[in-house]
Structures are given as C-alpha cells and as structure tokens.
Amino acid sequence: MATTDYHLAGHYAPVHDELTAYDLEITGSLPPELTGWYLRNGPNPRKENAHWFTGEGMIHGVRLERGRAAWYRNRWVRTESFEDQERVIYQADGTRNLRASAANTHVVNHAGRTLALVESSLPYEITNDLETVGAYDFGGELADSMTAHPKICPETGELHFFGYGSLTAPHVSYYRADAAGNLVVRQPIDVPGLTMMHDFALTRDHVVFFDLPVVFDYELVGRGMPYRWSDSYGARLGVLRRDDPAGGVRWFEVAPCYVFHTLNAHDAPDGRIVVHVVRYDQMFGESPDTPGQLWRWSIDLASGAVAEDRLDDRAGEFPRIDDRQAGLDTRFGYVAGSTKALMLDRLRRYDLHTGTSREHVFAPGQTIGEAVFVPAEDKPGGAGWLLTYVYDGATDRSDLVVLDAQDIAAAPVATVHLPARVPTGFHGNWLPES
C-alpha cells in the first residue's frame, strides 16, 4: 500500500454527489428477516489527497425492509474540519484537536448510538439516515482518540476500545464502556514509542494489544501517512486481564510484522490465547508491502512462548465473523480475497476448526469490499447472510450483494441494484431494526 494515486481512480475513485434513491431494483429475493440498515464507511476525498487513508469519510447506506430495498443514501460525515478541510490534528504545543476528523474508517452501534470512527480522533455520532449529529466524547469523559475497531462483548454488552496517538507518554490507553455507554475503565498502556496500533483482540478473559514496528514519523506529517516501518522497534503482543485492568500488561515477543485487522480471538481450554489475524511481513517500508495472509498466534501464558502459524498463503483482507461470537471460539470466519494487487474479487469462508475453506468468486471486473455477517437465527455461529458492496467495472455501478453464508459458493440470494458507484472503502455493520 505505498503512497500512489491509485485511490483516485477506478473502483477507488471518489464520488461527488450525495444521493437518495427509493425502491431499489432487486434481482433474486431479499429474505424478509433482513430488516434494518446496512451502513459502510470509507474515504471519499473532496479534493486530491496524498493517501487513501486520509480522504473525508462518506457513509453508504441501504435500508432493507421486509423483502424490499427501501432506499440508498450516501452522505459525508460532517466533522468540525469538514468545511475548511484543514484537518490539523497535532497542534504547535503538542496537543491534539480530537474533533478534526476524517471519520472515514468504520461505523458501529452501541448503547443506542451509531458512531462513525477514525482512529486519530473522537467518534462522530450519526443517525441511521446518515445525518451527522456531532462529535461524541462519552459525556465529556473521553479526552483521547478512539480506535476504529472497538469490540463489543456479546456476553456483557461492554464496549472495549483504546486510543493512541499522543506525542507524549502514555502513547496508548485502554478504555471500557458498560452496556449503557458509560465510560468505566481508563488504563494507560506502556509502549516505547508512538506505534500505529490499528486493531486489537478481545477474549472472554483478556485484551490483547499489538505493539508492532510501524511508528510515527513527524517529518511525514502532511505528506500522506505519517507512519513508517522500523527495523529496530520490534514486535510484541500485550495481554491484559479483563478482570484486573490495572494489573499491568504482560508482553510476548513475536516476529516483526504488521496487522491491520483481527479476525477473532478466544481463550483455549488449555490456557492458551488463540488470535486469528490478517498479517503482513512488512508495511510502509522501503521495500514493496507484502500481501496480507491469515495467520494464527497461540500465546502460551505458562511458558511465555507464542506459536506463529500461517494458515493460508493466499492474499486476503477485511476479516469478519458472526459478531455474537466475538471473543469466543467461533468456527467460521470470512475474508475478502484477491489474486490481483489492490483488487478484492472473492469471498472466503474459513472453517477454523478443520482448516478448510470455500469461496465465492465474483465475475471478472467485479471488485468487492468487506462482507458483514447478518444472522438468520438466534443460535450464534449458525445460518446467516453475508452483505457486501460489489463494484462492476463494465457498468461503473455498484450493487449490494447478499450471499448465503453457509453456501458461500452458490449464486447470490439477492442483488440490490444501486443508482451509483460505491467506491472501495473500509468497514461497516448491519444495524437490525429493534
């Protein structure tokens, strides 16, 4: 992912208009149980910018309603830096403007609030109709950035997250909000430098942090991504007990690498912590970046060793699970795969218990994004659907495609035809109607 202009052309190219369209055309049949909102975030720069990661956030949403596709909308997240586009986060005195935000990475719902996220800033609350409410700081309790990859514990309803980016120690802090949205835990995490900590992992008993060798470089500010690979920083995993957040982090060394995204993690019966991630050998270095591949880390708390196993040599990204099994021993994981650089064209279903996989290969010229699992039954890990936006280069249009998660190789269950192109973006979620 070197800094180039690829993000301004083709399936990455931004769109310029905010649209609303009603009663969308459907091929196939939408399951009536799919009643809610599918929202996905991603960069949509309003002027030429230096890197894909830095464009203004735009939410693309489809409202499904008992077998019909009621509407499609796309809206920029109107942060406090949206109009003047002077997104100066680091001030001259070393402090951060946490409301200067691209808000372009994820959209999640917790405690009745839908939040657009980017890891450098505070969350921005939006409505399910994609209108911006404003910056959200947990009632004045959060004076830090918030990761774009918070974890919701399916058993407690708690929201776990961290903030990073402070130029002075502590560079990273761990936070926890209860099921009602009240911030109840703040805990500094000791790391030696300002590492780019994009994601982390959660289990029933532990929080696992990734202290990896992509570090802040002030000389790169304003020139794209202000982070670079460091051959000297090292790589380690930090384990914190959920029942003792002030008890300190225990660190475990791993081979140098980088991870943008966690598939899942769980506590094994033998006491190990098992973490599945999409791992890169290098990122933002002088050599070309390596492809992401599915790996497993097994942290042995007794011996202090970490077993590192590559599970697939094929490239992939944007891993997701049935979120009702977050932090538990889920069997199935879903990863968008590629055979060509910068183009995801297939969706894989991994059986993490047997080590097998199946995939749905999209038509030539089609590009997919992250696929979100939507349950079809109350049993976690059971039947469900996968929702993803698919761009077709032949028509320069996009669809919302619905696949059967248990029969991923089959033809789509339904295809919702959208009135415009949805640029390749980052992450989103299904918000069921309550």
- CA–CA gap between residue 360 and residue 386 (Å, rounded): 11
Residue (of 123, 122, 116, 124) closest to 98 by Cα position: 122
Q: Are the CB atoms for 104 and 42 separated by under 8 Å?
A: yes
- Cα 83 to Cα 13, 42, 49, 78, 87, distances in angstroms: 21, 18, 15, 8, 10
Query: Does 276 belong to an annotated binding site?
Result: no
- What number of H helices and E strands is found in the chain? 0, 33
> HEC string of 298-341?
EECCCCCCEEEEECCCCEEEEEECCHHHCCCCCCEEEEEEECEC
Burial class of residue 262, CB neighbours in 10 A (0-12, 13-18, 19+): buried
Residue with token string 């790996």? 295
Query: Does 261 belong to an annotated binding site?
Result: yes
- CA–CA gap between residue 169 and residue 191 (Å, rounded): 8
How many Cβ atoms sit within 10 Å of the Cβ of residue 247? 10
Q: Are the CB atoms for 336 and 327 separated by under 8 Å?
A: no
Query: Does 160 belong to an annotated binding site?
Result: no
Q: Are the CB atoms for 116 and 106 separated by under 8 Å?
A: yes
- CA–CA gap between residue 209 and residue 327 (Å, rounded): 14
Beta bridge partners of 366: 392
Beta bridge partners of 215: 195, 228
- Cα 277 to Cα 225, 380, 401, distances in angstroms: 22, 21, 25
Q: How many CA atoms lie within 13 A of 266 on its CB side?
A: 16
- CA–CA gap between residue 331 and residue 264 (Å, rounded): 10
3-state secondary structure of 430: strand
Q: Are the CB atoms for 298 and 272 separated by under 8 Å?
A: yes
Query: Does 110 belong to an annotated binding site?
Result: no
3-state secondary structure of 86: coil
The annotation places the binding site for Fe cation at 149, 198, 261, 427
The annotation places the binding site at 149, 198, 261, 427
